[in-house]
Structure 1
């Protein structure tokens, strides 16, 4: 009975699609001849999709990876998560916002030859899944110049708001965003990406000790921070707004966060991300400016830590649902306070130009990138935190070296 029901639904969908093609074709043909293509955000209620999808589309056009045509973005205002971000994209893409016009044009998105597609690259990667490929090429060819920059008016307005909250105009600040379940409580399947903001307190205090401010991003469902000097819990602030969200993400020195979608807003404005508790294992941030450290994995069945190679072997490296980890008996281990602190220090050293990477650090990075590529994952443009990689080299890249002298710079493990 269930199979018959599925077959019936499939036939109905195909029939409706065929009918739509027949009815819409007379109108669709002029759009096609005029090279008009309709661009629709996959999940327009998610700020990450609203950030990276137009960015990817535009960059693939700049690189010549897709045909040139006039793209029209359908953006119904009551569904878009951030109107301010749409305003910035409207400088690059034609945006239609009127609800009736959007409703009229939306069916044309389903017509294949009118859809603004992401191309398939020569190496087989589909660029809406392999954003790293497009970003790496864009950085190599175009220097990585961000497509979006804050307007002078927006910048002045944002700083005025920060000053009213006590932040000096000449101060620098870091945005902090730690994913919690409150924003999308119905999607418990994504809980594997959550973390505890309290484990970031040592990193927060370190940033403040270096003269910076910390602006904690998010929404009121999040756990409040304790009162701290030079820290603004913006998630619980009355000044929260769509335009202020964009200002903070675009103006901060870097975003200290997790694998949540807000870091993508900083990314499209060219701001580095220092991303912690990153998961799943094969996922990495997109820009060469970014640093990250992943979660670790423990097998409840075998009572031991699981290596990243094993995650690839068990087809768990691209697992995007918490229940799949549960079924496999895998517990995700969050980054510790000390790991987040060391990682934050590295990011500040990078930005200050004082970071030091040894030949062994470089070797470990190359081993990590080789592991990613040889297992069929997307290439990594970003860098894995040096202390974390040293401490867990045995799990991440298969080297168990307590001292740097255990490996020579050729990458061969010494014996004896």
Structure 2
């Protein structure tokens, strides 16, 4: 905890006069943690920020007060109510985090987290990413309710279920600078057909602005367009699935926070990404128009590309992000299923791929240490997420050094 906390100079009484009194001193040295949470209509912020917060300030006995907007409009109320369990919620319409002071202020009874989502997301891997102490879990009552809900869609309790999410532009059409994160759902169809042949039920999560899926089977449920859809489907399908297939987008945050195996498809190699040990990474391919070739992993993570979070940054750098092919997606789904079954499809190359990937992560980590003023680490170095062997076999150049390393 001590390496996280910085205490600005203003006194707590003067700075926080507008906050309601948190009451008496918590027992056993525990404190009340105050946090301002906004953008709750976004899964990534609602789920991710609370997950990171509860891990970063996980001392026994700590109590949490979250100041946020009322859960109206596009907020998934079922997921909101679940995520906020056990915390004191203060609804303040239209409120914004004050610009000053920023940091972590504390006294004997309270910790005031005056930081944004980026602070939480970047500190979480470095501080507790190798061994998170908090994950979301269903109670026995939750589990029964979830099975009853899925049964309405024809999914028996215990049936193998895979949940799919693919980011498109419709949910936040004005955020064109995030278009590099999008992908084409049609490239997933062969993988969906593979899962259906294997006896899985497949649920696609999303919204009605997305491209509808073809009706391939009664076991394929395109929830944005299903007449029986309700918001709690997102919660229970994620919590009860065997594994989750997704681009890095809001719903994936829920799967990570539930400690569900995640197949990260079409993932940029962003510096802040972190996954659980059972996760499998299938990155997008970075094509340099200057060099007229794809860039290696080492070239990406030891360059400014590692910190790009806007489409125009890639454009200015003359780099295109190419989506995974249908074959790469399908082979990675097969690999994920085999891993969960305890079958090793790549015994000859798997260890070498993982070791090489870790070496490259060390390169990225050193680059971040020397090039940044804050968050001076590469989050993936604290993750035990594996790189897809199927992807590496299809793209053997990816783990090479590349010209920048020679």
TM-score bin (small chain): 0.7 to 0.9
Kindly indicate whether structure 1 or structure 2 has the higher relative contact order, using CA contacts under 8 Å at least 6 residues apart: 2
The 2-side partners of 1:357 and 1:284 are apart by 25
Deviations 1:367-413 (A, max 9, x none): 1122112222221320010121233242334389xxxxxxxxxxxxx
Structure having the higher helix fraction is 1
Is this contact kept in 2: 1:61–1:68, CA < 8 A? no
Residue 106 of structure 1, CA deviation: 7.3
Paired residues in the alignment total: 367
Aligned residue number for residue 211 of structure 2: 223
The 2-side partners of 1:56 and 1:196 are apart by 30
The 2-side partners of 1:165 and 1:93 are apart by 32
Aligned residue number for residue 49 of structure 1: 45
* In the alignment, structure 1 residue 268 sits paired with structure 2 residue 271: no
Q: What is the CA RMSD across the aligned residues, in angstroms?
A: 3.4
Deviations 1:156-176 (A, max 9, x none): 333333333333344221001
Aligned residue number for residue 331 of structure 2: 342
Is this contact kept in 1: 2:66–2:88, CA < 8 A? yes
Is this contact kept in 1: 2:286–2:294, CA < 8 A? yes
Is this contact kept in 2: 1:39–1:72, CA < 8 A? yes
- Note the residue ranges of structure 2 that are not aligned, 5 or more in a row: 1-9, 366-377
- Change in Cα spacing, 1:366 to 1:127, as seen in structure 2 (3 Å) is farther
The 1-side partners of 2:237 and 2:152 are apart by 14
Residue 152 of structure 1, CA deviation: 3.5
Aligned residue number for residue 88 of structure 2: 94
The 2-side partners of 1:108 and 1:334 are apart by 38
The 1-side partners of 2:203 and 2:18 are apart by 53
Aligned residue number for residue 289 of structure 1: 278
The 1-side partners of 2:261 and 2:176 are apart by 29
2:384 to 353, 364, 381: 381
Residue correspondence of structure 1 range 244-323 to structure 2 within 5 A:
244-282=233-271, 284-323=273-312
- Change in Cα spacing, 1:72 to 1:263, as seen in structure 2 (3 Å) is same
2:394 to 391, 396, 404: 391
Aligned residue number for residue 55 of structure 2: 59
Residue correspondence of structure 1 range 19-30 to structure 2 within 5 A:
22=14, 24-25=16-17
Deviations 1:8-54 (A, max 9, x none): xxxxxxxxxx9x98585386787797744421225322111211222
Residue correspondence of structure 1 range 189-228 to structure 2 within 5 A:
189-228=177-216
The 2-side partners of 1:21 and 1:189 are apart by 41
The 2-side partners of 1:31 and 1:108 are apart by 26
Scaled by the length of structure 1, what TM-score is found?
0.78
Tell me the secondary structure at the aligned position of residue 169 of structure 2.
coil
Is this contact kept in 1: 2:392–2:398, CA < 8 A? no
Deviations 1:256-315 (A, max 9, x none): 111111111112122111111000354544211211110011112332222222223431
2:166 to 162, 178, 182: 178
- Change in Cα spacing, 1:25 to 1:170, as seen in structure 2 (3 Å) is closer
The 1-side partners of 2:54 and 2:230 are apart by 27
The 2-side partners of 1:69 and 1:155 are apart by 27
- Change in Cα spacing, 1:23 to 1:283, as seen in structure 2 (3 Å) is closer
Tell me the secondary structure at the aligned position of residue 168 of structure 1.
coil
The 2-side partners of 1:398 and 1:23 are apart by 51
The 1-side partners of 2:139 and 2:22 are apart by 36
Moved over 6 A (4+): 26-34, 105-111
Is this contact kept in 2: 1:176–1:256, CA < 8 A? yes
